[in-house]
Structure 1
């Protein structure tokens, strides 16, 4: 356990002293990652970078970390790619209907986070785009 900070000593000096003593004891020798470069900064804070690395290392989708308003916006942007994997028009309609229902629910229950600016997806337009993409391939 660490000793208590003496009175009339700055926290910065006290922390630096604790680090120096630990280094002298060899507490930092052979740590995982020793000699490896630090990850490139992304512009996020260190905690956000750590969470993103952990989520990716676990094989999970980082989109799950987005607030609902941004997640729905991203889902609408990614919709053409998702629909291209569907085999039938009925499946396309179900996917779009499900997304539209979640957008409606988000507008009804939106209380926190960034403003919700996602419009409902036109089902007929999505089906027509899906048909065109199927005909082109």
Structure 2
């Protein structure tokens, strides 16, 4: 065992002398996460951060569907026509019905979305954006209160 360790140490020393460890990425920088408490899922968190993967993809299907329902007004806001809004809602409802047929994951209440309600909200938001809001008028300028000792003497 000692001869094996000695040969490994000799190879490391030879590589150092050749400069194979010079200019490695992270050289001279502190080890990330050092001094922080141990986190069992450090590797998945670093992978998600490094690959820029949205954490929503880690949620079970019913929670992903609920999140999409919550974000629906924001997602349909920029769609150009009522038909495209209805098509978007129909696609989401198809995914919801598919999950309802064979539910997996936690038991979370998820129901199809009413397309008419979404279209009504979409129209109201477009009308509100189309009507110009009057510019607020400047409040009348008031003279500030001045203490008697701050008054100018004539």
TM class by shorter chain equals 0.5 to 0.7
What are structure 1's unaligned runs of at least 5 residues?
4-20
| Alignment of structure 1 residues 49-60 onto 2, 5 Å | 49-56=45-52, 60=53
CA contact (8 A) 1:52 1:62 kept: yes
Partner of 2:124 in structure 1?
132
Correspondent of 2:74 among 73, 81, 97: 81
Aligned length: 112
TM-score of the two chains, using structure 2 as the length reference: 0.59
**Alignment partner for residue 38 of structure 1, among 32, 43, 48?**
32
RMSD (Å), alpha carbons: 3.1
1:135 counterpart SS class: helix
TM norm structure 1: 0.65
1:121 counterpart = 2:113: yes
Deviation >6 Å, runs of 4+: 26-29
Larger Rg: 2
Task: State the 1:73 CA deviation.
Answer: 1.2
Contact 2:48 2:54 in 1 (8 A): no
Q: In proportion to residue count, which structure has more helix? A: 1
